[in-house]
Amino acid sequence: MAARLLRRKALTNLSAPSSSPFSKSSFSVQRLISTLVLGEHEGGSIKAQSLSAVVAAKFLGEDNSISMLLAGSGPSVQEAAIHAASCHSSISQVIVADSDKFTYPVAEPWAKLVQLIQQKGGYSHIMATSGSFGKNILPRAAALLDVSPITDVIEISGPQLFVRPIYAGNALCTVRYTGSAPCMLTVRSTSFPVPLTSANSKSDVAPISQVDPSTFGEDMVCKSKYLSHTSQDSERPDLGNARIVVTGGRALKSAENFKMIEKLAEKLGAAVGATRAAVDAGFVPNELQVGQTGKIVGPELYMAFGVSGAIQHLAGMRDSKVIVAVNKDADAPIFQVADYGLVGDLFEVIPELLEKLPEKK
């Protein structure tokens, strides 16, 4: 098929010397920008979150050549590469590292891989989305490349100029990268949403190149072994990109009561969130925690029930378009950020909402 021919034709021999698009010897005002995006994949396709970095990369400059780097082993990564090659028109190349060292995305071989690919490809920028994958790997890779990374970027003002939140989002810091290439950063997916249909036409498939397996040498010996992981409930919308989020706090009092939140979420087609207190109390698992050190969300509608509104929780949801708060305490800080506040008992309000809300479209 045409795609396969294109791939074979464009197979880059990465062990041959390549002219670096970012040449240190010829410093010119208009630097060439080329970006390496670290991609995450699952079940043979690219995770939507990874594409936020691609969307963000476009803000770095007009002519930014964006390559996506994938690592895995066997058919699943090869399938993901095929998906990556056509899932976003801005991706101009897909690089695949296929080895059993990458069966599971552990940081140590991944960081070494990024270092290797950077040494061969000389990118001006290396990016990842600021999720547990990017946060775990990119700083380690930055240390190997002797670069100060900029993490959790919410705005790109120029190829070396970024804005990031500090103090739980109560202040914004504008920082300039003044080092020599590469500039390394992670971006918040809520600040760079991925448009629903960004798949390009069939004729725009990016070439896929395979990293020469002999490059995974002795220094890739892994001292970290993946053992297991709990799997997320995939029936409900993903907290990170749901249009509506319904969150419960400690006032729910028990895991059993928390089911009311889940019912309301189901009625609205929403994702379920929780405060740190609710997770600590064991009402729900940790991946539902919204906050400074949990997930950052920015849905169209955020409904908080029995949530006091601590600074650390606000950090995770203050960028929501519409915030609704229901709390018995009229002085709860949450009412200071809520667009609509209802002072009342959630044990009465939620059943009433369940009864009166229109069915989701």
Partner 1 sequence: MKIMVAIKRVVDYAVKIRVKSDKSGVETSNVKMSMNPFCEIGLEEALRIKESGLASEVIAVSVGPSQCVDTLRTGLAMGADRAIHVEASATLYPLSVAKLLKALADVEKPGLLILGKQAIDDDCNQTGQMVAGLLNWPQGTFASKVVLDKEKEVATVEREVDGGLETLCLDLPAVITTDLRLNQPRYATLPNIMKAKSKVIKKFTPQELNVDIKSDLEVIQVTEPPKRKAGVIVSSVDELIDKLKNEAHVI
As measured in angstroms, the least distance from the Cβ of 76 to partner 1 is 16
Listed in sequence order, the DSSP H helices in 238-281 are 255-268, 276-280
Instruction: Closer to partner 1 by CB, 172 or 199: give it.
Output: 172
Q: How far is the CB of 289 from partner 1 (least distance, A)?
A: 8
Measured CA to CA, the distance from residue 335 to residue 109 in angstroms comes to 46
291: left (phi over 0), alpha (psi -120 to 50) or beta: left
In the three-class reduction of DSSP (H, G, I as helix; E, B as strand; rest coil), residue 72 is classed as: strand
Cβ contacts of 117-120, under 8 Å, gap ≥ 24: 117/14, 117/36, 117/69, 117/211, 118/36, 118/145, 118/182, 120/14, 120/15, 120/18
Q: How far is the CB of 45 from partner 1 (least distance, A)?
A: 15
Least Cβ distance, residue 52 to partner 1 (angstroms): 13
> What is the Cα–Cα distance from 332 to 330, expressed in whole angstroms?
6
What type of residue is 84?
A: A
Q: Which is nearer to partner 1, 176 or 259 (CB)?
A: 176
C-alpha span between 169 and 166 (Å, rounded): 5
Complex with partner 1: residue 50 or 93, whichever CB lies closer: 50
Residue 8 vs 176, nearer CB to partner 1: 176
* Residue 2 CB, nearest approach to partner 1 (Å): 36
Q: Indicate the residue among 166 and 199 with the shorter CB distance to partner 1.
A: 166
